[in-house]
Amino acid sequence: MRDKKDKKNKKKNITLETVGFMLKLAAKERPLILVLFTIISLKMVVYSMVDVIAPKFIVDEAVAIIGGGGSEHIRKAVYFAGGYVLLQVLLNIINNFCHCRASAEQQWLSEYIEVKIGSHAMAMDFEHTENPDALDALEKAKEGMSWYSGGVGGIVNAFVIVVQEAAVLCGAAAIIITVCPWLLPVQFIVLTIIGILTAKNNAIEKETFMQLAKSNRIWGYLLIYLSDFKLGKDIRLYESADMMCQKAAYFGNEVSMEWIGKDGRQFKNQRLMDLANALRDGIGYFYIGLLALRKTITIGDFSMAISGSSTFFWSLKNIVEGIQSLSMKCAYAHRYIEFLEYPAAMEKGGKAVDKDGKHEIEFVNVSFKYPRSEKYILENVNIKISSGEHLSIVGLNGAGKTTFIKLLCRLYDVTEGEIRIDNVNIKEYSEDEYRRLFAVVFQDFKLFAFSLRENIALADEANDNHIEEVLRQSGLYEDAMKLEHGLDTNLFKTFDEKGTELSGGQQQKAAISRALYRNAPIVILDEPTAALDPVAEYDIYRSFDSLVGGKTAIYISHRLSSCKFCDRIAVFSEGTIKEYGTHEELASLPNGIYAEMFGEQAKYYVDEAV
């Protein structure tokens, strides 16, 4: 019993918390929508009451006229009918205007929420990008604020409608109590039955929502990649379109079957609701008709009682369903609040980073395994990188080189040991300040469908002189100046049919320009030039090494000649540093890993590169 009570309180709290959150958000960001919904609700209250009461006076005057009443009754009937029509026209004009404006406000809020979700997703700890639970939370937040709840506007509107229907209910109840009081118990009994059945259907709806999160995410993933022109070569050359389409069809069918199953489970409840509603109508008409035959009420009262009875029932039903619907919408929308409160994966410090630009890096007994994995990628790594040192990291695929960089950049926290900058555990530093220490170009770097200037600066404001300088340094300046709109040229054709498609080498130079523009004290290249030929890669690395000057630089490359000029070389193997020293020292080690790798590669291109 206590568990059930706790669950009920939890549901209630979720509804209240979500409604409060959405009302505050709307009041802060778009207060006009609250005014518009209030006007719409007041219009509906007036409209409903006039629709119940006005016909009584018109009918009574009409009966009086038929019974031989004079011109006074005709004049009153005309006034009542004319006033009724004019009021309806006026209310509809107000309603249409407010709905149009409210729709625009809702659209703004929907876009605002989408931006907030995206912004929060980018601000979350990086490891969450590979966490299925976090990805499901993101998907539920998106779906909960769009498809299922109607977003901020949907929650606010649902809340206002409940208040609106409560006002209409009070008016209709006053009419029924005056004309046909015994009809109230019938309405309540039938509505209780319908409320129970509606609650069951809502529970089925919520259960379906929870089950669909993963299928929707996979289906959406497949649809995105099926329509991505950048993957056209792979899909065509490997003839994978059928496989991709079949997968999309499979998960799309899985989603459809869930909805079909939901409808089937809800069908029986819906039929019982229809039966209960039919009984209510039959009992109501019989009771009110009996009162009219006994002349306890007038014909106008009969009309008002029928209309009032219907209005009372539907208002009460709308309140019950509205509260249930609001609760259901809030259950969906609360996923957005939960996403905003998704727990951080890493500790956050507040210590400021020393601004002198000289930073010593030290890995102390660092071991690491990725979340939800039992396999260690790095084990007992110890290394000290002095300020201004240029370090090359080499090793076979899977040796842990990129993982080493991810840990240094604090995309993940170490499993064991610690990383220190200036003899301070990096967990103690402010995250924002710590990240500013690094300019990194990963092998899988991304350029965006923005202008070249925006891709280099990645900021709202840019220093064109500095951009041109780093473009010269990276070797991209001449190609950039040949573009139709120079720095304003959009990359790719995603949003601009005149956008340019940079070659692989040009894209890599653009990514390096971005790193140079950041002007961070620690620069990292993680095989961004892997697609270039050995000589071109060597030239870029050698040129880049001279550009970074006295900054700390860390290079990863499979081509060992590209990093032979570094101060030190760390050779990764089996998840740890097996060899460490200068090029000359490592190349002369008998049976050394580096010496063997360098010797094998030298057969092919060392003469060209040196």
CATH of the domain at 279: 1.20.1560.10
If the chain, 610 residues long, is cut into consecutive pieces of 10 residues, what is the mean pLDDT of each piece? 46 81 93 92 84 71 63 70 80 88 90 88 84 85 80 89 88 75 69 75 72 64 59 57 70 71 74 72 63 64 72 79 84 89 85 83 94 90 93 87 92 93 92 89 86 88 90 88 89 82 86 88 80 66 74 83 80 92 89 84 53
Residue 444 lies in a domain: no
141 with 181, same domain: the answer is yes
Mark whether 147 and 182 lie in a shared domain: yes
What is the pTM assigned to this prediction?
0.67
pLDDT of residue 11: 47
- CA–centroid distance for 288 within its chain: 54
- In this predicted structure, what is the pLDDT of residue 378? 94
Which helix (H) or strand (E) segment is 101 a member of? Answer: helix 71-123
User: What is residue 170's predicted lDDT score, i.e. its pLDDT?
Assistant: 84
Q: Which residue has the tokens 């009309």?
A: 303
The total of other beta-carbon atoms located within 10 Å of residue 191's CB is 22
Same domain membership, residue 423 and residue 288: no
- What count of residues does the chain have? 610
Distance CA 134, CA 342 (A): 8
Name 525's bridge partners.
441, 555
Nearest one of 182, 163, 172, 191 to 310, comparing CA atoms? 172
Residue 446 lies inside a defined structural domain of this protein: no
Note whether 515 and 544 are same-domain residues. Answer: no
Domain boundary among 519, 548, 566: 519
With beta carbons less than 8 A apart as the criterion, state whether 410 and 426 touch.
yes
| Contact predicate 256/174, CB 8 Å | no
The whole domain housing 515 covers 451-519
256 and 404 belong to one structural domain: no
DSSP string computed for 63-94: HHHHTT--HHHHHHHHHHHHHHHHHHHHHHHH
Same domain, 423 and 330: no
Answer yes or no: do 589 and 535 share one domain. Answer: yes
Work out how many domains the chain is built from and give that number.
Answer: 3
pLDDT at residue 466, as a whole number:
92
Q: Which of 301, 318, 340 represents a domain boundary (last residue)?
A: 340
Of 315, 340, 365, the domain-final residue? 340
* Six-digit token string for 274: 């229809």
